[in-house]
Each structure stands twice: as C-alpha cells, then as structure tokens.
A and B are shown apart, each in its own frame.
Chain A
Amino acid sequence: EAGVAQSPRYKIIEKRQSVAFWCNPISGHATLYWYQQILGQGPKLLIQFQNNGVVDDSQLPKDRFSAERLKGVDSTLKIQPAKLEDSAVYLCASSRGQGNINEQFFGPGTRLTVL
C-alpha cells in the first residue's frame, strides 16, 4: 500500500510570511497526526484528527497555527505568520484508528526554514 504522502519536501520563507503543508494519509486510516520536529529534538505532537474531528490540539500554538481535515482524508497545516522558531521538520503520520495498538505510519516530512 502507498505510504503517507507530504508536500512540499522543503520550504523556505521569511518571517511573518504564511506557509501551508499538505498530507495525504494511508488509505483507510482514520487517525491523522501532525508533529513538529525541531533540529536535535524528537517529534512533538501538534494536533491529532479522528476522521475530520480534532481529538487533541493542546500543543498547537493556535495564535499562528491552524490545521484542517475537512473530508476526513487529506489534511493541511498552516502557519500564519511564521516566526524564526518555527523552523523545523513537520511530520504527518496516520493510523487505522485511535488507541495504543494502532501503529503510526510517518510521512517523509516537510523541512521548513524561516529566515
């Protein structure tokens, strides 16, 4: 089966600009996750969707970050306006459902550089 797809792979913007990332999960996977991975650190969960509903967005900086999964399939993560500290790799992952036994499959990530 095809894996989790993300685009773009790389993005360079200036601070205060806006940027959007796209994720297409594995077909049939109900749960979708966005992680932020700052250089030298492990990934940190930003938001989790179950179908098109938000399950957990407690670590999402809502003043500048937003995410949606309108039809319960693809998802978009937006940053507006970007700050220097947003430079990171943004990873998307999906799993069949919620719960600990459901393995998360990760996409290749989008590397964002904010100048």
Chain B
Amino acid sequence: AQTVTQSQPEMSVQEAETVTLSCTYDTSESDYYLFWYKQPPSRQMILVIRQEAYKQQNATENRFSVNFQKAAKSFSLKISDSQLGDAAMYFCAYRSWGGDNNNDMRFGAGTRLTVKP
C-alpha cells in the first residue's frame, strides 16, 4: 500500500521569506498523482498544487512550486514570499493513476506552517 510521510510536524517562516515543506512517499506504481493541500483553521481543505508523475517538469502555481524527484520518491513544496495568509496545515497526498475506480487518496500527517510578521 502507498504511504505518505511528512517528517516536519511544524515549520515557521518569516513573512516575505521562502520555506520548503518536505514529503516522501512509498509506491511501486509508475503512474500516479501527487498533491499539496492547505487546511486553514476553518478546516476547509484547499488544493494548492498538483503534479502528474509522468511529467518531468515541476508544477508551479504563482508563489507555490514543487520539487518532484521521482526516483527519490520526494515531493517538496516551496512557498516563496510567504504571506500571513499562508499559515495553515499543509498535507501532501498521493493518488494512484489506476482508472476510474481508483480514487483512494492517501494523505500524510501534515505540517503546521506558522508565518511570523
């Protein structure tokens, strides 16, 4: 079974600076999706960024980018120019490619990000 590990329970960053959140995963599959979700105190999970495993190019969304290392099974999230509104729990998630009936998304335990003004 696929597992997702986030080794940093908590991280902090100064406003306007850059922070990187780590994620590793274990799988024997060659095709899959990886996600980063943000969960603020309101609890609403919001998709931050998505990476398809077959794509070599790292995904970027404005201030958010990933470093996807398929061989190392690593998927880190970089937040540039951190803002106070970035403070939240961040979850890394894995989903198999496996067709219409395989939608089991596996989440890591999360990293709590604090942004200091």
**Interfacial residues, chain A to chain B (CB-CB below 8 A):** 3, 31, 33, 40-45, 48, 55-56, 89, 91, 93, 97-100, 103-104, 106-109, 111
Contact = CB atoms under 8 A, between A and B. Distances in A.
Contact of B108 (A42, A98, A99): A42
A68 B107 CA distance: 24
Shortest beta-carbon contacts, A-B, top 10: A42-B107, A106-B45, A98-B100, A109-B43, A108-B44, A100-B33, A42-B91, A99-B100, A43-B107, A108-B43
7 contacts: A3-B44, A40-B109, A42-B91, A42-B93, A100-B95, A100-B103, A103-B50
Interface in B51-102: 91, 93, 95-97, 99-101
B105 interface: yes
Given A55-B101, A56-B101, A42 B43 contact: no
Contact of B44 (A40, A55, A106): A106
B100 A42 contact: no
A42 B4 contact: yes
Contacts of B107: 41-44
B96 to A, nearest CB: 8
Contacts of B99: 99
B42 interface: yes
A59 to B, nearest CB: 8
A31 to B, nearest CB: 7
Interface residues of B, number: 25
B47 interface: yes
Nearest to B37: A106
Contacts of A89: 43
B42 A48 contact: no
Contacts of A97: 100
A56 B104 contact: yes
B5 to A, nearest CB: 11
Contacts of A33: 103
A58 B103 CA distance: 12
A55 B102 CA distance: 9
